[in-house]
Amino acid sequence: MSEVKTEPRPGDRGPTSHRLSSALRHLARVADTGQERDLIDVVLQAAAIWYDLDVRGYRRNLHGRFVLEAWLPGADLRSAPRDFSGFATVSGCDVVRISSFAEQEQLGWHGLPGDLLMLPIPFDAQTQPRWVLVTSNKFDSPVDPCLLMLCQILGSLLQQAAAKAVEEVQQRLLQRLVKSDDPLEQVTTTALEDLVNLVDGAHGRLVVQTGEDRRTRTLASVGGDWLDAPLPISNAGQSVVSARRITVWLTLGPNAVAVCDLRPGPDREFTDTQAALVEAGLMVLGVWLSGRLKGVTGERRPGVPQSTADFESQLADEVRLASRLNLQAGLLVMEVPPASQTGGSSTKPSPVLHDLSRQIRSSDLAGRLDGGHLGVLFLRVGTDGLKAAGQRIRSRLDAVARGAGLSSVRLGLAAFAPGEESIASVVARARASARRSGSGN
């Protein structure tokens, strides 16, 4: 950082409410585009104008280090480090102040006339800050509250932009998958191309492993010949997300998984934002594949939900991803009347159960839960949408049950709470809702 000035200009008392209002209006306009870097630049420019300071923006990469990614036009990039592990000390949302010249120089900053300030940009309560603004300040001088407020608002806008980007990716991919009548390999290749382009990746492949012997079949490959390349070794199919590789394992059904494997081009690395978008897109792709590959994955008959173990395994995967990516989702739990209520056994599937497959979207999951209940996982559905879907499904299935001379369906709903750690609490809330609903609601 060269020629950093900390004294206000003559006649300048610092940022006023007018300046703050102007910066906020600018942020609001830029937020409509959803571009993360543009939002960061607005705050850099505002801080530079307010204080006549050189301000830098560092972004956390998938190695856990902060790398220089945003600076003011005309800045001398030789005067500050591009990458240093010292920023690993930034783990929360508190301002980090470094006054020791020795510590400043260890971090690669020389000749500062005051404190080195690190201003983390909060993202959400469960995630480490993705950005840190770095500047200088007078010794022991308090940080201007206007700047701190601007950083807080910037964090909220970055979170909204990330959620918007995830939703757009999922909707675009879902529309492409559901509306296409092309062969499986062609559709998956197109979807994989979308994901590769999304992260500026050079190589990608989508592999399906089925059967107890894990027979491997490559459904799609982009940017290179992946047929003979070994999959990365992981712990029980755990996904690998790093700066040089993103490998996500998706449970499709009994004895079947899909693996999406991406690598960036030469001298490039994935960012955390790109990794989040890939995982969000793969949530949709995995659910769609589990429906298209019923014969391969061993699912028994059309209209018959997954078994308890398979459904709860896949449900746990989707809950984990939804929680990590801060997505809306909900669970519908129902008690379906049997096909025969005369006391005799019946080998015929319940007409209610058969009709259920027509009432849910291809992006939703259906399966049996422990205890005999039927569950449906709705992805990208908030509380209001979940209630509307529940009312529609109950009305339709009750009509089917009455037509077959069966009792009504008992149904309960539970929207995922922020930071939900397990499916157990979601299922418990949905079952409690079903008990309260009674047979006539």
Q: 64-106: per-residue pLDDT in tens?
A: 788 888 888 777 777 777 777 666 667 677 888 889 888 888 8
**Separation CA 13–CA 144 (nearest Å):** 12
Whether 100 and 118 have beta carbons less than 8 Å apart is answered as no
- The amino acid at 255: N
Alpha helices, DSSP H, located in 380-420 = 383-403
Q: Cβ distance 143 to 95 under 8 Å?
A: yes
pLDDT for the residue numbered 13: 44
Stretch (H or E) spanning 357: helix 351-359
Domains detected in the chain: 17-160 (3.30.450.40), 180-297 (3.30.450.40), 308-437 (3.30.70.270)
Task: Check: CB of residue 31 under 8 Å from CB of residue 25.
Answer: no
Nearest CA-CA partner of 243 in 229, 230, 262? 262
| pLDDT tens-place string over residues 319-335 | 776 666 666 778 888 87
- 10 Å CB burial of residue 193 (0-12, 13-18, 19+) is middle
Quick one: which of 422, 414, 359, 356 has its CA closest to 382?
A: 414
Beta bridge partners of 262: 204, 246
DSSP category for residue 223: S
For the purposes of burial, counting CB atoms within 10 Å of the CB of 326, is it exposed (0-12), middle (13-18) or buried (19 or more)? Answer: middle
Strand partners, 120: 132
Indicate the SS3 state at residue 209: strand
Q: What are the C-alpha distances in Å from 173 to residues 167, 261, 273, 323, 332?
A: 10, 18, 17, 20, 24
Q: Which residues contact 142 (CB under 8 A, 6 or more apart)?
A: none
Tokens of residue 337, six digits: 């009347």
Residue from 97, 104, 60 nearest 80 by CA: 104
Q: What is the pLDDT of residue 139?
A: 84
Tokens 């070794």 label which residue?
233
Q: Within the chain, which residues score under 70 in pLDDT?
A: 1-17, 34, 52, 85-89, 91, 125-127, 211-214, 225-229, 232-237, 254, 293-305, 321-327, 336-350, 353-354, 357, 361-363, 380, 418-421, 438-441
Q: How far apart are CA 293 and CA 208, in angstroms?
A: 10
pLDDT value at position 370? 79
CA angle, 280 as apex, 131 and 334 as ends, to 5°? 130
Residue keyed to tokens 């594949």 = 289
Nearest by Cα to 363 from 440, 419, 291, 267? 291
